[in-house]
Amino acid sequence: MARFLLTHAVTAGAERSPDKEAVRYSGNSLSYAELESRTNSLARTLIENGVSRGDRVGIFMNKGLESAVAIYGIMKAGAAYVPLDPFAPVARVAYVIQDCGIRHLLTKEAKADQVGEILGLQSSLECLIGLPCTDQPAMRCLSWDDACAAPGQPLANNLTEQDLAYILYTSGSTGTPKGIMHTHRSGLSFAEWAAEEYGLLPTDRLSNHAPLHFDLSTFDFFAGAIAGATTIVIPEALTKFPVNLSKLIQDEKISVWYSVPFALMQLMERGVLDSRDLSALRWILFAGEVFPTKHLRELMNLLPHIRFSNLFGPTETNVCTYYHLAEPPESDDPIPIGKACANIEDLVVDVDGNPVPAGEVGELLIRGGVVMKGFWGQPEKTANGFFKRRMFNDFDDIFYRTGDLVHLDEHGYYRYLGRKDRQIKTRGYRVELDEIEVALLAYDDVEEAAVYPIPDGQGSNLIAASVIPAQGVALSEGELVEHLGKRLPPYAIPVEIEFASDFPRTSTGKINRRELQAAATQRRQSAALSE
Amino acid sequence: MDRKTALIEFIKNEVMRNKNAKLDENEDLLSAGVLDSLAILQLVAFIEDRFGIKIPDEEVVFENFQSVNALTSYLENSH
């Protein structure tokens, strides 16, 4: 059958192998036939309750089998699903609901308290599914059972691949969340490439480690369904315990793993991997952050039978480059982000928008089916996010500006240098904060490092760093400064290096540099006041 | 102060950063999002420091940290 909607993968799976498990959670599962029928029912219920094409429907609940039912059911109703971080502060969730004009919310009873608070903080919601009753008479409420009781036959609709499929909210550089709009086409472009590149098979068992609001989850659900594979949804609670997590990988016979590097570093450090049977595992994919090379090498040496791949790309492009590691890296240099995916055109330009000669540093631009439609409700931001290349008199090619600085190495692979907006000015000098992190990580006894600017009170920036020392090692600021002095110009050396046993992380598992920065700024201000 | 009270105080003050937070001793600390990876490490360090109990990596598992009650009964049974 034709496949131009993300939901077609489930329908095809139900026709091809109806009894095959599509999704598993905590020992329970839904077959492709069950997922197909249940998502048809949910879509029907949503439409009966006022959802129409192009609407945004929120998902606010802990993970479960319902996660898969929700995303496909919403898309089958012609709407875009908007996953809301179940652990975010209620004010932020309410902000997204209001900003995105979400009228229908899929949730669970365990979230009743938060939903109650959210209802008072926004004026957009009209209908709750998964919470049978509230004390708000104006709110229409249905249980999950009721929502899935509608007939399960396929729905007739006129959706096209250009219809909105999902909107992911990320914290913009200003801290205000922005909604990244993806269509069925942009989701499929990534998922079809990934299913092909990683050779996914119906026998594969994919991990779903990432939360739904993190774009890594689109691989787990969409590429998995295209292959007719089984996706193992991992409860949030277990992602916090490496010992539980490694047991789940073993018991569920996960064959393709995808997560942020941090989860893999935790597994290696505390996950008792040497006592687990990981023979089913064949691919480990990672994305979202730089994997410190020395830790990656250690992990690859520990698991020599597994292939490793680095996926790269802002949420706006799903994924745009990838790099397979044939061997554990020899030096501690950061590994490449690789080359553009097969269905993507890449271009590197200087500040004036002119292509740079091969090997020179510039901003990476991306063109192809994977690129988002735009930022929800922000036409100006959307326009600024795109770059036009004049082709003919009245026709432009449109590229997404990733904001990432890269250069091509001698092997034809991209190397990532940092975010354009992580390039700061300090005392008149231009500094790459990510370069300082790499220099810190090159020190043997540094486990992890984060570098961020703090205001100097005179309109410029000072550089500060936080460092996690290797286990059982006492590091001094002096030895790190000495080490950095051999690699960096004096103005790039942090004015303060703070030591920590761990870092605050974002809900997607990345180092929360903004929080570290806020704490350091506050420390500095109170120190200045007490002087 | 008994262990249970000390744990509740620590979680409220250092993890939730809110002395007046509601924290039921049976509350699922993980599903409610109270504990993240960082907080679990802080909690382990606190227990080792305050009670002089060494928790091996293999025992830092969901079953032992699911709630304040789960944690106190784990500590009682194994130490």
Q: Do the strands A177-183 and A140-142 form a parallel or antiparallel pair, or are they unpaired?
A: unpaired
CB-count burial class (<10 Å; 0-12, 13-18, 19+) for A264: buried
Which of A60, A171, A123 is closest to A514 using CA atoms? A171
- Choice among A335-349, A353-367, A475-489 with the minimum mean pLDDT: A475-489
- What is the rounded end-to-end Cα distance, in angstroms, of chain A? 73
pLDDT band at residue A531, thresholds of 50, 70 and 90?
Answer: low
Q: Which of A189, A194, A197 is nearest to A165 (CA)?
A: A189
Q: How far apart are alpha carbons A336 and A323 in whole angstroms?
A: 7
Question: Does the pLDDT value for residue A172 go beyond 60?
Answer: no
Kindly identify which residue of chain A lies nearest to residue B65, measuring between CA atoms.
Answer: A241
CB contact under 8 A, A87 and B33: yes
CA distance A309 to A438: 20
pLDDT value for A390: 87
Q: Within 13 Å and on the Cβ side, how many CA atoms surround B52? A: 0
Print the domain residue range for B52.
Answer: 3-78
Model confidence at B32: pLDDT above 90: no
Q: What is the domain-level CATH number for residue B8?
A: 1.10.1200.10
Q: What is the mean pLDDT of residues A177-201?
A: 97
pTM of the shown model: 0.89
Number of structural domains, chain B?
1
Do the chains contact at A244 and B61, CB–CB below 8 Å? Answer: yes
CA atoms of A164 and A160, how far apart (whole Å): 9
> CA A443 to CA A345: how far, in whole Å?
37
Q: Do B31 and A270 touch (CB under 8 A)?
A: no
pLDDT of residue B78: 82
Nearest CA to A168 out of A152, A151, A186, A154 is that of A186
Q: Does the beta-carbon distance from B36 to A505 stay under 8 Å?
A: yes
A175 pLDDT band (50/70/90 cuts)?
low
Check CB contact of A504 with chain B, cutoff 8 Å: yes
Instruction: Indicate the length of chain A as a whole number.
Output: 531
Q: Give yes or no for B33 touching A (CB within 8 A).
A: yes
Please tell me what DSSP assigns to residue A27.
T
Answer whether B58 sits within 8 Å of A86, measured CB to CB.
no
Task: Give the C-alpha distances (Å, rounded to integers) separating A358 from A353, A406, A411.
Answer: 15, 11, 11
What is the torsional sign of CA A415, A419, A420, A424? Answer: negative
Cβ–Cβ under 8 Å, residues A37 and A152: yes
Residue B38 has its nearest CB partner, among A87, A236, A502, at: A502
The owner of tokens 């590097």 is A261
Instruction: Residue A268: list chain B partners with CB under 8 A.
Output: none
List of chain B residues whose C-beta atoms are within 8 Å of the C-beta of residue A272: 57-58
Question: What's the CA angle centered on B70, arms A209 and A25, to 5 degrees?
Answer: 30
pLDDT in tens, A29-84: 999 999 999 999 999 999 999 999 999 999 999 999 999 999 999 999 999 999 99
The pLDDT of A346-373, averaged and rounded, is 95
Cβ contacts (< 8 Å) between B66 and chain A: which residues? 237
**Does the pLDDT value for residue A474 go beyond 80?**
yes
A464 secondary structure, DSSP code: E
Minimum-distance CB partner of A243 among B35, B38, B57? B57
Residue A110 touches partner B, C-beta closer than 8 Å: yes
Residues in A touching B38 (Cβ below 8 Å): 502-505
Find where tokens 């220099």 sit: A439
Task: Specify the pLDDT at position A209.
Answer: 97
A82-101: pLDDT as tens digits: 999 999 889 989 999 999 99
Yes or no, beta carbons of B30 and A236 under 8 Å apart: yes
Minimal-distance CA residue of chain B relative to A268: B57
The residue type of A297 is R
Separation of alpha carbons A38 and A153, rounded Å: 9
Contact (Cβ atoms closer than 8 angstroms) between residue A464 and residue A454: yes
Structural domains present in chain A: 8-239 (3.40.50.12780), 344-417 (2.30.38.10), 427-530 (3.30.300.30)
How far off is chain B from A240, nearest CA to CA, in Å? 5
Q: Which residues contact A519 (CB under 8 A, 6 or more apart)?
A: none
Task: Output the CA angle A443-A444-A446, nearest 5 degrees.
Answer: 70
Confidence of residue B38 (pLDDT cuts 50, 70, 90): confident
